[in-house]
C-alpha cells in the first residue's frame, strides 16, 4: 500500500482513502450531535447580548489583552472584542459585523433573533424534523415576514425644511446609548451633519465628508457640529497669529528641507568655507521654498511633514503661518473641504491649487492649554466635523459609536424613507402574520413557520425583561391588543410613559434595518443547520 503522508492513501486494490493527522487526539461529531454543538455555541454568544437590548439594556465592560478598557452596549463592538474560539460563534460575530457594515444599526437585535431561531430549531430537531426542512421553512418565513413589513411600513417625510421627524428617529437610536443625557442635542447634531453632506438628487450620503473628532475634558453637552474641519494640531510657532481670515491654503506633502542627493556618496566638509557654503545653500533653499509658497498667494501652509527650527523661523519672518505633521486622512479632508489640491513638490505650487477657508482659528482647552485648529467657512461647505467632548477616552469612544449609529439611521432614511415602529412592535406584528400564514401550509414547514414566529417574539421579551417588566405578561397583553385593534404600532412601553403606541412615543426604526435583521438572521441559521459534520480536538471540546 502506498500513501501520501497526511492526505491521501491507496489500498492494494487502488481504492483511495483519506489519512487524517492526529486522529487519536480528535473527536468527530456528526448528525444531530454536531448541530446541537453549533446551536449551543451560537446561543451562548446571543445570550451575552440579550441583556444589552433596548433603552434600558445594560453595558458590557471589555478588557483587552493589553489592559485597555471599553464600556459599550453596541452589539458589533462587544462581539468584535470578544475572544471567540468556536467557529460557529465566530459566524455570529460576522453576522453582527455584516449588519453594522450594511446598516450601521440593529447589531444587537440581529444576534438576538438568530439566537432565538437556533433555540427554536433545537426544539424542532428534538421532534425529529430534518434540519433542511427547518432551514427551508425559516427562509420562507423570513420572506413572509419581510412582505408583511412592507405592508405595515409608513412613509416618512425627509424634508430639509422640517427636520423634527428625522431628529425623533435619531433619538430612538440614541435612547440606549451613554449619550442619552444630552439626547436631543446629539440627535440634532447627527441629523444636521447628514443633511449638510447629503445628495438628495442621488439619495446618497458620503460619509467621507463627515469626520468625528474627540477631545478629552469638558462635558458631553459641549459637543458641537463644526461646518468645516477640526485638526488636532496648532500653529508651528507660538508667535504666529491665532486667527486668520480669508485664508488661502497651500496643502503640502513635501517637507521644508533641502533635497538630499539620492546617491551612496557622502559629503565631506573639510573646511570652514565648505561649511559656510553648505549653510548658505540650505538657507537659500529654505528662502526659495517659502518664496514659492508666498508668491502663489498662500496665507497658510499645511504640511504633512515636519520642518526644523530654522525653517520655522523663516516662515515666521516671512509672515507665513504654518501647521506641521498633519496626518494623511486629515490632509485629504482639508483638501476636499477647502477645494484645494494636494501639492507634492514646491515646483508645482500655483494659485490654482490653493484651497480657501473663510476663517482658521486656534482653540485652546482647559488648564493644560491643549490646542486644536478650526478650519471654517470652507469652499466646499458640505464637509463637516462632529467635535465630541467627554470626561475620559472611554466616554468619547462610546459617544463616537453612538453618533455613528445615529448617522447611519438618518442616512438610511435619506436612501429609503420607509419606517416601522420600534419597541418590539414590528416583531410582534410579523410574528402574528407568520403564525397565521402557517395555518395555510399543509407541509411540515408549518412547524418552522410557527417556530419562526415564536423566535421573533424574543426581541419584545428581551425589551420587557431589560425594562424590569414581567416579560410573558407584557408580551401577551400587547400581542392580544395588536390582534384585537389591528394596530401594528403597539409595542413594549420600555420607558413607562403610559402608552404602548410607539407612534405616539415616536419610537421609529428604518424598514431597511428591520428587514436586513430578519433576512441575515435566517440566512445564518440556514447555514448553521446545514453543517452536520465537525471534527474538534478531544481535550478542548468541552
Whole-angstrom Cα distance, residue 212 to residue 49?
A: 26
C-alpha cell, 305:
511633514
Catalytic one among 48, 70, 77, 108? 108
Whole-angstrom Cα distance, residue 439 to residue 309?
A: 81
DSSP-derived letter for residue 179 is G
C-alpha cell, 377:
467657512
Contact predicate 469/492, CB 8 Å: yes
DSSP-derived letter for residue 246 is E
Whole-angstrom Cα distance, residue 226 to residue 228?
A: 5
The verdict on whether 338 is a catalytic residue reads: no
**Distance between alpha carbon 414 and the CA centroid of its chain, in Å?**
18
Helix, strand, coil % over all residues of the chain, rounded to 5:
50, 20, 30
C-alpha cell, 164:
423634527
Catalytic one among 48, 70, 74, 385? 74
Contact predicate 115/42, CB 8 Å: yes
What number of other Cβ atoms are within 10 A of residue 6's Cβ?
Answer: 11
Catalytic one among 72, 107, 172, 173? 107
The verdict on whether 169 is a catalytic residue reads: no
The verdict on whether 59 is a catalytic residue reads: no
The verdict on whether 107 is a catalytic residue reads: yes
Question: If we measure between CA atoms, which residue out of 411, 366, 403, 397 comes closest to residue 512?
Answer: 411
- Neighbour-count burial for 317-329, b at 16+ CB within 10 Å, e otherwise: eeebbbbbebeee
Catalytic one among 100, 405, 454, 493? 405
Contact predicate 314/259, CB 8 Å: no
How deeply is 291 buried, as exposed, middle or buried, from its count of CB atoms within 10 A (0-12, 13-18, 19+)?
middle
- Cα separation values, 299 from 112, 249, 250, 295, 383, Å: 56, 6, 8, 10, 21
DSSP-derived letter for residue 257 is S
Contact predicate 181/445, CB 8 Å: no
Residues counted in the chain:
542
E strands within 415-494? 418-421
Catalytic positions, please? 74, 107-108, 405
Amino acid at each position: 500500500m502506498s500513501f501520501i503522508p497526511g492526505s491521501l492513501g491507496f489500498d492494494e486494490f487502488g481504492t483511495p482513502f483519506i489519512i487524517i493527522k492526529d486522529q487519536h487526539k480528535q473527536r468527530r461529531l456528526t448528525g444531530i450531535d454536531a448541530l446541537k454543538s453549533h446551536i449551543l455555541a451560537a446561543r451562548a454568544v446571543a445570550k451575552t447580548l440579550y441583556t444589552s437590548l433596548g433603552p434600558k439594556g445594560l453595558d458590557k465592560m471589555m478588557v483587552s489583552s493589553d489592559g485597555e478598557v471599553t464600556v459599550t452596549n453596541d452589539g458589533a463592538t462587544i462581539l468584535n472584542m470578544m475572544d471567540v474560539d468556536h467557529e460557529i460563534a465566530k459566524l455570529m460575530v460576522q453576522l453582527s459585523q455584516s449588519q453594522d457594515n450594511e446598516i450601521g444599526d440593529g447589531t444587537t437585535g440581529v444576534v438576538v433573533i438568530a439566537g432565538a431561531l437556533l433555540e427554536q430549531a433545537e426544539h424542532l430537531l428534538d421532534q425529529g424534523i430534518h434540519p433542511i426542512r427547518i432551514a427551508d421553512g425559516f427562509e420562507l418565513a423570513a420572506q413572509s415576514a419581510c412582505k408583511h413589513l412592507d405592508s405595515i411600513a409608513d412613509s416618512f417625510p425627509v424634508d430639509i425644511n422640517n427636520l423634527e421627524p428625522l431628529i425623533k428617529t435619531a433619538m430612538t437610536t440614541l435612547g440606549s446609548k451613554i449619550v442619552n443625557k444630552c439626547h436631543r442635542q446629539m440627535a440634532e447634531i447627527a441629523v444636521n451633519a447628514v443633511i449638510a453632506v447629503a445628495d438628495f438628487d442621488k439619495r446618497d450620503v458620503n460619509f467621507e465628508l463627515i469626520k468625528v473628532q474627540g477631545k478629552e475634558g469638558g462635558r458631553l453637552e459641549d459637543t458641537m457640529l463644526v461646518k468645516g474641519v477640526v485638526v488636532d494640531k496648532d500653529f508651528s510657532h507660538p508667535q504666529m497669529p491665532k486667527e486668520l481670515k480669508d485664508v488661502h491654503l497651500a496643502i503640502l506633502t513635501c517637507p521644508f528641507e533641502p533635497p538630499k542627493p539620492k546617491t551612496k556618496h557622502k559629503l565631506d566638509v573639510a573646511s570652514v568655507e565648505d561649511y559656510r557654503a553648505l549653510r548658505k545653500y540650505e538657507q537659500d533653499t529654505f528662502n526659495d521654498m517659502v518664496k514659492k509658497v508666498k508668491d502663489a498667494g498662500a496665507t497658510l501652509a499645511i504640511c504633512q511633514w515636519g520642518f526644523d527650527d530654522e525653517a520655522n523661523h523663516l516662515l515666521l519672518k516671512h509672515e507665513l503661518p504654518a501647521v506641521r505633521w498633519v496626518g494623511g486622512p486629515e490632509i485629504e479632508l482639508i483638501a476636499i473641504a477647502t477645494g484645494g489640491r494636494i501639492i507634492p513638490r514646491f515646483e508645482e505650487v500655483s494659485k490654482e491649487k490653493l484651497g480657501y477657508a473663510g476663517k482658521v482659528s486656534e482653540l485652546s482647552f482647559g488648564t493644560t492649554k491643549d490646542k486644536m485648529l478650526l478650519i471654517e467657512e470652507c469652499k466646499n461647505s458640505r464637509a463637516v466635523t462632529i467635535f465630541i467632548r467627554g470626561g475620559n477616552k472611554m466616554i468619547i469612544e462610546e459617544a463616537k459609536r453612538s453618533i455613528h449609529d445615529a448617522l447611519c439611521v438618518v442616512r438610511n432614511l435619506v436612501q429609503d424613507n420607509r419606517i416601522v415602529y420600534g419597541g418590539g412592535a414590528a416583531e410582534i406584528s410579523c410574528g402574528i402574520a407568520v403564525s397565521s400564514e402557517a395555518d395555510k401550509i399543509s407541509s411540515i414547514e408549518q412547524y418552522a413557520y410557527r417556530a419562526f414566529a415564536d423566535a421573533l417574539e424574543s426581541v419584545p421579551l428581551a425589551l420587557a425583561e431589560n425594562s424590569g417588566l414581567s416579560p410573558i405578561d407584557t408580551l401577551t397583553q400587547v400581542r392580544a391588543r395588536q390582534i384585537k385593534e389591528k394596530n401594528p404600532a403597539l409595542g413594549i412601553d420600555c420607558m413607562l410613559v403610559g402608552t404602548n403606541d410607539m407612534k405616539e412615543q415616536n419610537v421609529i426604526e428604518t424598514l431597511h434595518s428591520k428587514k436586513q435583521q430578519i433576512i441575515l438572521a435566517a440566512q445564518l441559521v440556514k447555514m448553521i443547520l446545514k453543517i452536520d459534520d465537525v471534527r474538534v480536538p478531544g481535550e478542548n471540546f468541552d
